[in-house]
Amino acid sequence: MDLGLEGTAAVVGGASSGMGLAIAGALAAEGCAVTMLARTPQKLEQAAAGIPGAIAVPGDVRDQGALEQAVGRTVEERGRLDIIVNNAGFTWDNVIQKMTDEQWQKILDVHLSAPFRILRAASSYIRDAARKEREAGQSVFRKVVNVSSTSGIYGNAGQANYSAAKAGIIGLTRTMAKEWGRYLVNVNCVAFGLIETRLSQALGGEGAQIDITGRKINVGIQSANLEALQRMIPLGRAGLPEEAAGAVCMFCYPESNYVSGQVITCAGGLY
């Protein structure tokens, strides 16, 4: 089935594993040329090897240079940039009286500042391309899909930093939908609930620590809390990365050309 992505080009953040890898794979399967951005070079190269034609750009999304490289290589090597998916992130939880300034700032940097910075990096290309297309009498729609969370909509104890960042990305989404509507850019957001990734595994499981600039950070959910959360989901289980990718892809298809500034919840009915 042709869903209209043949010949397009996308940048996907956090694309070496989990939802990001699933999103990159889903877009590529529809004919989109994908640029994959992630911070661990070896892991990224392995992931990109499984997606024909993918460009791998190793780098931390908190690094402006990496963002500019992802945008620049896509435009240079593909000749276009149609889709940006802001997916990269991690959690670093604590109750507010124990949360350090470092914890607070690092989470805001990756979940809110990085999406802002890559959109800023892409803005010159988008403005120029839209002007040329308008002068040629063409209507070319582009897509930005930001990733939020149910924590950003409803809040979540122990996640003041993450919840604030994910609420902020909703505000950024709606603002950019208004700023970039004149360029025919649809800017939307998916707020995820419990999706099966390393961030949602039981604490102490395989891969339960991540290295962020030399600091080991525990990720995951307390086993009792994880089980209770799963029981609350009307569909009875956590979502799969491939199902998460489907929610993102919906906003990338031409059928969404008149949908902008919206947030959908992908959480199996949990709200």
Catalytic residue numbers read 162
CB 185 within 8 A of CB 142: yes
Q: Which residues pair with 12 in a beta bridge?
A: 36, 85
Q: Which two tokens stand for residue 226?
A: 């994880």
If you ran DSSP here, which 8-state letter would residue 269 be given? T
**Nearest CA-CA partner of 194 in 158, 227, 170:** 227
CA dist., res. 2 & res. 30, Å (int): 7
DSSP string covering 144-176, please?
EEEEEEHHHHH--TTBHHHHHHHHHHHHHHHHH
CB 169 within 8 A of CB 88: no
Contacts of 119 (CB under 8 A, 6+ apart): 84, 86, 144, 172, 176
Q: Which two tokens stand for residue 46?
A: 């392995």
CB 84 within 8 A of CB 122: yes
CA dist., res. 253 & res. 8, Å (int): 11
If you ran DSSP here, which 8-state letter would residue 74 be given? H
CB 200 within 8 A of CB 268: no
CA dist., res. 222 & res. 109, Å (int): 25
Could you tell me how many residues make up the chain? 271
